[in-house]
């Protein structure tokens, strides 16, 4: 299927709500743009997709996604460039990951061309929601869920693929405090950790809340079996810097979400000649480095924050403090570089911007 043959029905909203947005006081993910995308799957095929005014959807009380969790999502962003164009960052990567998540959850895959064109068209129609305010972007949320009207456990025959978008500012305004988790588990080998499956996030809330009571923002997840190896942090991948090298947990096992931000950060670093190691990372190695002062930096990488530098790592009863942010030259430089690339202030030498 080529893009030219993809034909969505389009119904425009009568009035735009964009002028009512309080940009200086924007809560994350609570304000939505004027339109949304909806495409249904039934009878073994995808039906025609539609762009329509943002609205509630009705559901059957037995809708299977609610009962048995066949539900996946993606997250990506559109940016306004300095010469007033709109770019989406690497949507092809999200399309591929969405298809992999669907496969793991026994759901029909959305063809990459449809996924990309649906996002492109929706963002084009709501392009006045992509502001050029520094640090702001339009968060794009594609999701797919099972809609069989049946209380019986089996792969659903019907699904809805939807996309909504939400203008957002900076995700974390301060450096984050994280705690290494040694009891609860995010993902086990053979499980669904690699999929952006809704249930993974529901399951993380209780453990995360416990660490928040102790004054941390997020957990650092460790392997399910021994809690000896670091996996990721909250809903971000994690990267450490020791001796000038960037070190990040390998994604070989299916317990780590394969983040597009981390992949991009490491590609940029490699291009700059920085040594990059993706391998198993022992908790002990990081704790020791933090204690003896060789841990130069640690940060989370994800679409929401791009790079969220870590101020404190909690480990058992200790709080290990990391160096001040000003000294973290490499991550500061990568963050600035990525921001500049997405907003067109510098050349897109990797070809990561997808023009709307």
Ligand X SMILES: *Cc1c(COP(=O)(O)O)cnc(C)c1O
Name the residues that contact ligand X, by CB under 6 A: 75, 196, 232, 235-237, 257, 259-262, 301-303
Q: To the nearest whole angstrom, how small is the minimum distance from the Cβ of residue 76 to ligand X?
A: 7
Tell me which DSSP letter residue 229 carries. Answer: B
Residue 178 · residue 230 · CB < 8 Å: no
Please count the other Cβ atoms lying within 10 Å of the Cβ belonging to residue 115: 24
Nearer CB in complex with ligand X: 260/311: 260
Nearer CB in complex with ligand X: 246/260: 260
Nearer CB in complex with ligand X: 230/260: 260
Rounded Cα–Cα distance for residues 107 and 246 (Å): 36
Q: Which residues contact 211 (CB under 8 A, 6 or more apart)?
A: 179, 181, 218, 219, 314
Q: To the nearest whole angstrom, how small is the minimum distance from the Cβ of residue 257 to ligand X?
A: 3
Rounded Cα–Cα distance for residues 334 and 306 (Å): 10
Please list, residue by residue across 45-61, b when 16 or more beta carbons sit within 10 angstroms of its beta carbon and e when fewer do.
Answer: ebeebbbbeeeeeeeee
**Residues listed for the chain:** 356
For residue 222, what are the β-bridge partners?
A: 230
Placement of tokens 């997840």 in the chain:
221
Q: To the nearest whole angstrom, how small is the minimum distance from the Cβ of residue 10 to ligand X?
A: 28
Q: To the nearest whole angstrom, how small is the minimum distance from the Cβ of residue 321 to ligand X?
A: 25
Nearer CB in complex with ligand X: 147/235: 235
Q: To the nearest whole angstrom, how small is the minimum distance from the Cβ of residue 56 to ligand X?
A: 26
Tell me which DSSP letter residue 63 carries. Answer: B
Please count the other Cβ atoms lying within 10 Å of the Cβ belonging to residue 134: 9
Q: To the nearest whole angstrom, how small is the minimum distance from the Cβ of residue 252 to ligand X?
A: 16
């Amino acid at each position: 299927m080529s893009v030219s043959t993809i034909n969505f029905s389009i119904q425009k909203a009568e009035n735009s709500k964009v002028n009512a947005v309080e940009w200086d006081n924007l809560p994350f993910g609570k304000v939505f743009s004027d339109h949304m995308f909806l495409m249904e799957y039934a009878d073994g095929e995808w039906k025609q997709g539609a762009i329509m005014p943002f609205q509630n959807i009705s559901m059957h009380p037995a809708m299977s996604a609610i009962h048995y969790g066949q539900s996946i999502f993606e997250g990506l962003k559109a940016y306004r460039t300095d010469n007033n164009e709109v770019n989406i960052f690497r949507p092809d990567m999200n399309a591929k990951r969405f298809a992999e998540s669907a496969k793991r959850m026994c759901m029909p895959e959305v063809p990459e061309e449809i996924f990309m064109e649906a996002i492109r068209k929706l963002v084009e129609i709501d392009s006045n929601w992509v502001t050029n305010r520094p640090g702001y972007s339009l968060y794009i949320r594609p999701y797919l869920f099972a809609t069989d009207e049946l209380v019986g456990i089996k792969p659903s025959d019907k699904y809805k693929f939807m996309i909504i978008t939400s203008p957002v500012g900076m995700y974390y305004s301060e450096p984050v405090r994280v705690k290494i988790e040694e009891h609860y588990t995010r993902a086990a080998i053979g499980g669904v950790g690699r999929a952006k499956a809704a249930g993974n996030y529901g399951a993380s809330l209780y453990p995360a809340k416990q660490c928040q009571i102790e004054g941390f923002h997020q957990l650092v997840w460790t392997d399910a079996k021994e809690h000896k190896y670091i996996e990721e942090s909250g809903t971000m991948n994690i990267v450490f810097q020791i001796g000038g090298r960037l070190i990040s947990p390998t994604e070989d096992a299916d317990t780590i979400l394969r983040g597009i931000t981390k992949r991009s950060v490491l590609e940029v670093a490699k291009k700059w000649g920085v040594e990059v190691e993706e391998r198993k990372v022992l908790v002990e190695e990081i704790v020791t480095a933090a204690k003896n002062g060789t841990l130069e930096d640690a940060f989370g990488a994800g679409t929401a924050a791009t790079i969220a530098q870590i101020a404190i790592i909690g480990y058992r009863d200790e709080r290990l403090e990391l160096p001040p942010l000003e000294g973290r030259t490499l991550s500061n430089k990568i963050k600035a570089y990525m921001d500049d690339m997405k907003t067109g202030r510098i050349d897109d030498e990797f070809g990561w911007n997808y023009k709307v």
